[in-house]
Amino acid sequence: MEGNFLPILFILDGSRSIGAFPDHPEVEGGGSTVMVMCGIIGVMDRSRRTMDGSGIRQALSMMNERGSGEGAGYAAYGIYPDYRDCYALHVFFDNVRENKPLLESTLAQWGTVEHDEAIPTYGQPNLRAVHTPWRYFFKPDASLAPPGSATPEDDIVSALVMQVNAARRGALIFSSGKDLGVFKAGGWPEDVADFYRIEDYEGYIWLAHNRYPTNTPGWWGGAHPFNLLGWSVVHNGEITSYGTNRRYIESLGYTCTMYTDTEVVAYLVDLLVRRHGLDVDIAVRALAPPFWEEIDRMPAAEREWNSALRLAYASAMMNGPFAIVAANRDMMVGFTDRTKLRPMIVGECGDRLYISSEEAAIRAMEPRVESIRMPAAGEPVIGRVVA
C-alpha cells in the first residue's frame, strides 16, 4: 500500500528540506572521518525490475579495503516468487543430522513447511564452511497468535525466530521474511558471493556488507545483513548506546543473540514500524533524533511531536558513529548518526537508487550514474517502490 500513492523519488526529511540533488554535494562527514571500516551498499529498483547478484558482488568488492575477509553478506528481495506467500526461513545448522529434526519439530508446532531444501552452495578454497545453510518456506498457523494481534503471522514468526536463536541448539534463523533472503558467511565478499552463487538470484532490492569485524570475527551469525521478517539491515559503525538499546528492546519481547550491535537495529525498526505503526521517516527520526537545540527552535506543533518522540523513544535512540541502510519489500532507507561519523553516499540512475559507503562502489555497478550526493548528518534518504 505504501508504494501505490508515492510516485515521488525520495521522501526527504521535511524540516531539513534539501533539494533532491544539490549541485555541490556537502562534504561534511566524508571519508576523512572514517575510523573503522565496513563497506555497505544498497540498491533498489523502484519499478521492481530485478537485477541478478553479479552487479552487487562487483560493487561490494570495490570496498575490500573496508573489510578484512572475515565476513560478508547479501540480502535480496523478490528472489522467491514461487513461494511469495511463505516466510522464507534461512537457517545455519551446525550439524544437519542433529539440529534439523529439532528445528522441524518446532516449526511443526507453529505452522506448516511448504518446502525445504539445502541452500545451494559451492565450495570456495578460501572459505571454510562451518555451517550448513538451509531454507524453509513456512506458513504459520495464524490461529496460534496471541488474541488481539494485529499481525498474527508476523508475531508468530518473530517469536519463533527469537525462541530458536536464544535456545542455541545448533540452529540459527538469520532471515525470516517473505520473498527475500539473506546470504552471508565468514570470508571475502567475492568468496561469499561465489559460495552462494548469488548471480543465480534475481532481486529488485539488494543490500550488501563487507565486514571488518572487531567484536566477533569468524562467527557467521555476526555477518551482516541482519534480518527480521520484512526488514533487513546493513550497518557500518559501532553503536555506543547498544547497552541501552538492547535492554530496551529485550524488555519488549526481543532477544539479542548474535553477539553484535547491528542486530538491535533490525529489531528497533521492527518495533517502531511494524508494531508501533510509525512511518519509516518518523521511525528513523526516533533512532537518530534532532538535537534539543534544534527542537527548541521548531514551531510549536512540530516541537511538540519531536519532543514527544525523543521522550517516548529515548532508549531507542542510537548513539555512536553509524551509517545504516535498511530495506523492506517496499522501500530502502539510508541514514547516519546525528553528527555523521560514517560516510554515506547516494546515487541515482533512472529507476535505480543506490546508497553506499563509497562512490566507487556505486560506479562499479552503475558507471553512468546520473547523480551523486552526500546527505547531511542525520538526514534520512528514503526511496520507495512505485509499482
Partner 1 sequence: MIGSLPSRYRISIDPVRCMECGRCIENCSYGVFSRDGDRIQVNSRNCTACHRCIACCPRDAIGIEEHPCDYRSHPLWTREARESIYNQARTGKIILAGMGNALDYPVIFDRLVLDACQVTNPSLDPLREPIELVTHLGKRPARLDLLRREGGDVELKTRLTPNLRIETPVMIGHMSYGAISLNAQVAMARAAKETGTYMGTGEGGLHAALHPYQDRMIVQVASGRFGVNIDYLERGAAVEIKIGQGAKPGIGGHLPGEKVCAEISRTRMIPEGSDAISPAPHHDIYSIEDLAQLVRGLKEATEWKKPVFVKIAAVHNVAAIAAGIARSPADAVVIDGFRGGTGAAPTVFRDHVGIPIEAAVASVDKKLRDQGIRNEISVIASGGIRGSADVAKAIALGADAVYIGTAALAAMGCRVCGNCYRGLCPWGIATQRPDLVARLNPNEASEQVANLIRAWTLELAELLGAAGINSIESLRGNRDRLRGYMLDESLMEVLDVRGVGA
Which residues form the interface with partner 1 (CB under 8 A)?
Answer: 14, 33, 35-36, 214, 237-238, 240-244, 246-248, 250-252, 276, 278-279, 282, 291-293, 301-302, 304-305, 308-315, 317-321, 338-339, 341
Beta-bridge partner residues of 203: 51
CB 357, min distance to partner 1, A: 16
> What are the start-end ranges of the E strands in the chain?
39-45, 51-52, 72-77, 87-93, 111-118, 132-140, 171-175, 180-185, 202-203, 205-210, 226-228, 231-237, 322-328, 331-336, 345-349, 352-356, 371-373, 381-384
- Whichever of 63 and 127 has its CB closer to partner 1, that residue is 63
CB 303, min distance to partner 1, A: 10
What is the C-alpha separation between 193 and 51, in angstroms, rounded? 15
Q: Which H helix or E strand runs over 368?
A: none
Nearest to 356 by CA among 63, 64, 78: 63
CB 11, min distance to partner 1, A: 8
CB 250 within 8 A of CB 315: no
What is the C-alpha separation between 215 and 200, in angstroms, rounded? 32
Q: Which residue in this structure is represented by grid cell 552526500?
A: 374
Tell me the three cell numbers of residue 125. 578454497
- Whichever of 211 and 310 has its CB closer to partner 1, that residue is 310
- Whichever of 33 and 163 has its CB closer to partner 1, that residue is 33
- Whichever of 122 and 305 has its CB closer to partner 1, that residue is 305
Is 38 one of the catalytic residues? Answer: yes
Q: Out of 38, 86, 256, 349, which one is annotated catalytic?
A: 38
Chain-centroid distance of CA 179 in Å reads 15
Backbone phi, then psi, for 332, in 5-degree steps? -130, 135
CB 155, min distance to partner 1, A: 16
- Whichever of 342 and 352 has its CB closer to partner 1, that residue is 342
- Whichever of 74 and 254 has its CB closer to partner 1, that residue is 254
Chain-centroid distance of CA 350 in Å reads 23
CB 319, min distance to partner 1, A: 4
What is the CB-side half-sphere exposure of residue 371 using CA atoms within 13 A?
17
CB 151, min distance to partner 1, A: 15
Give me the active site residues, please: 38
